[in-house]
Amino acid sequence: MIHSATTARSGSSGIDQQAILPFCKRSLAVLALLTAFACVTQSVNAQDDTPADVPSKEECRQVAEEFEELIQSGRSSRATRLVDWESIVASATDGFEETPQLTLARRGFKQGFVSRMRDSGGLTAQIVAALDAGGTYRLLRMHEVDGRPRALFRLLLPQGGGVNYHDLEFHRGPGGAVRISDLHIALSGERFSETLRRAFLPVAAEALGGQNITEANRQHVEHLDALTNMAEAARARDYAQALSIYAELPESLQQDTNVLLVRLQASQNASDEAYAEAIADFSRFHPDDLCVELLSIDGYLLRDQHEESLAAVDRLEKSIGGDPFLHVLRAGILYDAGRLDEAEQSARQAIKEEPGLENAYWQVISVSLDQADYKTTVEMLTLLEDRLGVEFVDLTEVPEYSEFVKSREFRDWNRERQ
């Protein structure tokens, strides 16, 4: 366990973090679970800009850095203007037979979606809400995929809620302005436009009168009520009901990525055994999906398979090109395995690479408390206070610090802070 003893940081809402666990052995929150609708048999159209229209890496970096600053400062309504929602919804609704009814349905769907994104902030508001509760959102790096610049962001959810990665794509929009044209969300295993496409599918099916819909998509439309009820049950925390609905779905739907994500959300709150089984099934059905590695870290750890969990971290690191936070994940796994010195070494490496990673400090503190190395405890507490502005609760009231507060190191440290 990471023995955190903090109050909220200055300027944020009060969160008394009595005991923040490592980002493993805790459920990985599934973000952007907008729908539990059908899988997409036809892929969303790739961006077809001509080479002259492809924005430069530096132009994309400027937009990414502005997006990061707006999110971190809580200005979600400004941040959402950097996203070309019209382009996203166009990709999501493309590829169906054109009829007057479909054109009308698409127009209404687009107007409602874009209005919602702009009025409420939509996805950007969700990210800001996570930050308000203590999470972080950081631009890790710029990189290229198929010759196009992308920006990889890391979202750390509050109170040990998990990690997610957003890979932002860019294009040159109307008037020549560079805007975010889509984003790949690691934990949903797909682009945002693909998730949105499933929300449009039942609308398209109704507009087309059930004609010219693939058999796979037809099955999803036919079971739309069950899929919707499953998602609503999970959101209402009726996890047993959600799992019961899942068990009655056809096998093809049980293997759908987004249906599995709803199952994961429900099973993680049912039992460790159910959660581990859901992760194993996800890995079996979608072995090449990036989110498999994210989920496998948790799944292996639940079965005390520490080496396998560490190997999953290694694969994730290779897939995304590195992230200092992954040292924190390793530290948590090593700590759980009782390899305390290695856990401290990994956590310190995270601090070295990214000094603002608060959980890395708490992981070192966990090791120091277990080893009665109170000099290190004081070192980390001082860094948390001076470097990160963390405010502590009364440590004499925190059971995990009961031996530390009896020590000379605590008395000296506490006296110097007066």
Query: Which residue did the predictor score with more confidence, 167 or 294?
Result: 167
Decide: 158 and 130 in contact? Cβ < 8 Å.
yes
Mean pLDDT over 340-354 rounds to: 98
pLDDT digits (tens, 9 = 90+) for 28-81: 222 233 332 222 222 334 455 555 578 999 999 999 999 999 999 999 999 999
Mean pLDDT over 208-232 rounds to: 75
CA distances from 274 to 25, 252, 270, 304, 395 (A): 14, 20, 7, 15, 37
What single-letter amino acid sits at 40? V
d(CA 346, CA 323): 13
The DSSP result for 318-337, as a single string, is: HHHT--THHHHHHHHHHHHT
Does 340 have pLDDT greater than 80? yes
Percentage of the chain surpassing pLDDT 70?
85
Domain locations in the chain? Answer: 22-39+53-213, 223-284+293-316
pLDDT score, position 52: 58
CB atoms within 10 A of CB 173: 16
pLDDT score, position 346: 98
Backbone angles phi, psi at 6, to 5 degrees: -130, 160
Contacts (Cβ under 8 Å, ≥6 apart) of 24:
297, 298, 301, 309, 329, 332, 333, 336
Does 26 have pLDDT greater than 90? no
pLDDT score, position 212: 57
Tokens read off for 254: 């049980």
Percentage of the chain surpassing pLDDT 90?
57
Mean pLDDT over 211-220 rounds to: 63
pLDDT score, position 401: 97
Contacts (Cβ under 8 Å, ≥6 apart) of 391:
6, 7, 8, 9, 10, 385
Decide: 195 and 32 in contact? Cβ < 8 Å.
yes
Ranking 103-112, 317-326, 370-379 by mean pLDDT, the lowest is: 103-112
> Which CATH number is 22-39+53-213's, of 3.90.320, 1.10.10, 3.90.1570, 3.10.450?
3.10.450
Backbone angles phi, psi at 179, to 5 degrees: -135, 165
pLDDT score, position 198: 79
Average pLDDT of the chain is 84
Mean pLDDT over 257-275 rounds to: 87
Res. 90 pLDDT band, cuts 50 70 90: very high
Query: Which residue did the predictor score with more confidence, 387 or 273?
Result: 387
Ranking 12-26, 115-129, 322-336, 365-379 by mean pLDDT, the lowest is: 12-26
pLDDT score, position 130: 93
- 185 SS3 class: strand
Ranking 216-220, 282-286, 299-303 by mean pLDDT, the lowest is: 216-220
pLDDT digits (tens, 9 = 90+) for 356-375: 999 999 999 999 999 999 99
Does pTM surpass 0.85? no
Decide: 72 and 121 in contact? Cβ < 8 Å.
no
Query: Measured in whole angstroms, how far is the alpha carbon of residue 193 from the centre of its chain?
Result: 17
Contacts (Cβ under 8 Å, ≥6 apart) of 67:
79, 82, 151, 168, 180
